Amino acid sequence: MNSIQKYLTLILLVMSVFHTQAQLPAKAEKLVGKWEYKKGSGSETFTLHGDTLKGVAALIDKYGHELPVERMQIKNVNGHFIYTAQKIASDSLGSTQEHLFVAKGKRLKFYNTEDEFVQALKYRVRCFNANKMVLIIYTSEGDKRKLRLNKVD
C-alpha cells in the first residue's frame, strides 16, 4: 500500500474506534420503548437520543392517569455507563432530587455513588423474549426487589 492508503486506513480505524466507544451497547438499546409493570401500577418509557437513552417512569393514579415521577438517563462516559435518576417534583416548591449510578463495565447494573437506601439497579431484558424485562432494586439493607415489566410498544 502506498502512504495515502495507509493514512486513510489509519483515519478510518481511529474513527471507528471512537464511534463504537460512544455508542450504547445493544443491551441498553433493547430498553427502547414503553414497558408496563406487570401488576399495572405504572410504566417506564425509554427513547434513544443519539448516544443517550432517556426515560420517564410514571405511576398510575386511582383514575387511570399516568403521572410522571422520575426522569432517567443512561449515557456512555469514557467507557463507563452512567445512570442518572431525577425525581419529578410533586410539591409546590418544585424541588428536585437527583441520584447518580455508575455501571462497572458495560453491564446494565448500576451502583449508587451516594450512601442511599437504593444501592444498585439492574435492568435485565430476557434473552429469548425481548418483550419481558426485570428491574432488580438492591437496597442498603441487603434486600432485593424484582419488578417485572412487559413491553407494550
Would you say how long the chain is, in residues? 153
Instruction: Walk me through the domains of the chain, giving residue ranges and CATH numbers.
Output: 25-151 (2.40.128)
Q: For 27-81, what is each residue's pLDDT tens digit?
A: 788 899 999 998 889 999 999 998 899 999 999 999 999 999 999 999 988 878 8
* C-alpha dihedral (74, 76, 78, 82), degrees to nearest 10: 10
Q: For 94-136, what is each residue's pLDDT tens digit?
A: 566 788 888 887 788 999 988 777 889 999 988 778 899 999 9
User: In a 10 Å sphere around its CB, with 0-12 CB exposed, 13-18 middle and 19+ buried, how is residue 66 labelled?
Assistant: middle
Percent of the chain that is helix, strand, coil (3-state, to 5): 15, 50, 35
Q: What pTM does this model have?
A: 0.76
Q: For 86-99, what is each residue's pLDDT tens digit?
A: 988 766 565 667 88
